[in-house]
Chains A and B, each alone.
Chain A
Amino acid sequence: MSGILILEQTLNGLQFGLMLFLLAAGLTLVFGIMDMINLAHGSLYMIGAYLMAAIAQATGSFWVALPLAVIATAIVGMLLEIALLRRLYQRDHLTQVLATFAVILISNEVIRLIFGPQPVMLNAPPALSGPVELLPGLSYSSYRLLIIGVGLAVAVLLYFLVAKTRTGMLVRAGASNREMATAMGVNIKALFTVVFGVGAALCAIAGAMLGPILAVQVGMGESILILAFVVIVIGGIGSIRGALVGALLVGLVDTIGRAFLPMLFREFLPPTYASNLGPAVASILIYLLMAVVLFWKPQGLFPARG
């Protein structure tokens, strides 16, 4: 096991974790402020990736398409909030789960109707298609480095937005005590439409950035949605900081576990057990992590409510 390999996998984990953070940040705010389980968050991620692919194909430029796709997805998200989700805030969690599950079914089929059942191509910008040499012996995909850069930039931006601006203050107030914030005169309704738009935009960034690495296809939102939920439960619902820590933890644990656990198991166990047990344990590692965190800290690592 060489140091280069470990470093490479750590970068992969960082990249994955930062993209998870973009998804989890929006989800945790929606969850924290309105106490609303939104399964359709993954659909916004899918819609973002599809819009990105369509616009990139039409304009021929990755960089023109990115902001357009992000803005378009934010609009879709806000429309969804105004048309439907707003009606669900006062309902119980079960209703929210099922209604947003219905939104998943509907949006999957609408996307399939428009774009067809085949995965859509989305290419990385040509300038970033090759690897760069980070250290002697370690060459790393330049596009993945870009993802890490974008993820970090958005995380910093989000931190300033939430921690330093008036809107951010209202968001934090809403997350820690919704009734009190309303009583103090915060227009939660409008605030929430904005938060939802921002969440959708973050989804679109993640979808657009991951599009060239993963396949842009119907159902892409479902698998990553569950991971985003794991992240916010670990981090503490409503906490952006928790989402960041949780996302990096999940990204690193998952990536490094998949890379090294099978190897580790081969050292100690007979090969027949190791070949089965390695991948099995690696894929359930993050869920174990979540169960352990919930067991010891039922409110997550950084509870938003005091």
Chain B
Amino acid sequence: MTHRIFAIVALVVLAALPPALLASDQDFYISFASRIMIYGIAATSLNLILGYGGMISFGHAAFLGAGAYVVGIMMAEGVSSAWIAWPAAVVLSGLFALVIGALSLRTRGVYFIMITLAFAQMMYYVFISLKEYGGEDGLNLPTRSVVGLGLNLKDDTTFYYVVLALFAATLFGLHRLVNSRFGRVIAGIRENETRMEAIGFPTYKYKLACFVIAGAVCGLAGALISNQANFVSPKLIEWTQSGSLMIMVILGGIGQLYGGAVGAAVLLILEEVLSAYTIYWQLPVGIALLAVVLFAPRGIAGAFTRKPK
């Protein structure tokens, strides 16, 4: 019950944010808040495989980049409808996740970490070599995707509410997923794969399905981030980006419903605030990360929830 109240309060606060920011002449932060929620979606999708599924993927940025490039390339080719481009981004990222997952999930432990990283690197270099679509310099989007229905995404406030709706839907979806039979099986596999296999669950298929869902959702985040920034570049797929997504999950709370969202907010706000004071902002971020990893492995959201027995 407290869970539901918290969710409603959070939603009301987020919905009230743009008018409040507009009233105080801080409209720059509307776009920044959209960015936080978009990264929140991406980190939440990573949390699904990392926290709930126990699959340490070091290449999750691949799906962020895939989604972003689908929107970017389609727009460069004249398709700017969100109703076509965004589902395409989700489906294609999901397909990439299917291929990458099918191969990577044959390996375990360290090898899984390394092979997911390798696939993300491949995608990174492929997009660098795509000279038609900006190559290393990236691709500017002439406009934001077109939704119709009287909504104009070029308006930052409208865009914010669209992102908010998708953000809320992602969290609700994750909540339903991890509490479903599927979610229980995934958690069981994380705890003891051999046992789950012995009981008769096709663990490989379950893990692959989980990996594909996470990839597809991250593709949605990619489609949104390209719209938010009006720009797509291979930097989205760099391995440090995959690292950042992992940091968000860990900071926020691994295996916690709001972990990805909280972590994205904390990391991006920390960056924003610190970079105003010093160009060496990565130093305090690094120290904070080290402290969390060493002394508070359950993250920020984890500090507010009861320890599982």
Within 8 A of A (CB), among B250-309: 250, 254, 280, 282-283, 285-287, 289-290, 293-294, 297
Q: Does B106 contact A (CB under 8 A)?
A: yes
User: Within 8 Å CB of A93, what residues of B?
Assistant: 56, 109-110, 113
What separation, in Å, do the CA atoms of A110 and B280 have in the docked complex? 8
Contact check: which of B111, B122, B240 meets A222 at CB < 8 Å?
B240
Residues A226 and B121 in contact, CB atoms below 8 Å apart: yes
A112 partner residues in chain B, CB cutoff 8 A: 280
Overall SS of chain A's interface: helix
Q: List 25 A-B contacts (CB under 8 A).
A: A37-B113, A84-B290, A87-B294, A93-B110, A93-B113, A94-B50, A95-B293, A95-B297, A97-B243, A101-B243, A102-B289, A102-B293, A104-B286, A106-B286, A106-B287, A106-B290, A110-B283, A112-B280, A276-B129, A287-B119, A290-B118, A291-B119, A294-B114, A295-B106, A298-B111
Q: Which chain B residue lies CB-closest to A107?
A: B286
Q: Does A212 contact B (CB under 8 A)?
A: no
A291 in contact with B103 (CB, 8 Å): yes
Q: Is B128 an interface residue (CB 8 A)?
A: yes
> Among B246, B254, B293, which residue has the most Cβ atoms of chain A within 10 A?
B293
Q: How far is the CB of B127 from chain A (nearest CB, A)?
A: 9
On whether A103 and B286 interact (CB within 8 A), knowing A31-B110, A95-B297, A295-B103, the answer reads yes
Q: Is the CB of A230 within 8 A of B118?
A: yes
B175 within 8 Å of A (CB atoms): no
Interface size for A (C-beta < 8 A) is: 42
Docked-complex contact A97 and B58, CB < 8 angstroms: yes
Write out the residue numbers on chain A whose beta carbons fall within 8 Å of the beta carbon of B223.
none
A222 to B130 alpha-carbon distance, docked (Å): 23
Which are the 6 A-B pairs with shortest beta-carbon distances? A105-B286, A280-B129, A109-B283, A283-B125, A106-B286, A102-B289
A100 to chain B, nearest CB (A): 9
Number of interface residues of B (CB under 8 A): 42
| Cβ distance B284 to chain A, nearest Cβ, rounded Å | 9
Give the complex CA separation of A104 and B121 in angstroms. Answer: 19
Determine if A288 is an interface residue (Cβ-Cβ < 8 Å). Answer: yes
Q: Is B239 an interface residue (CB 8 A)?
A: yes
Q: How many angstroms from the CA of A99 to the CA of B289 in the assembled complex?
A: 7
Chain B residues with Cβ under 8 A from A279's Cβ? 129
Q: Indicate if the CB atoms of B130 and A99 lie closer than 8 Å.
A: no
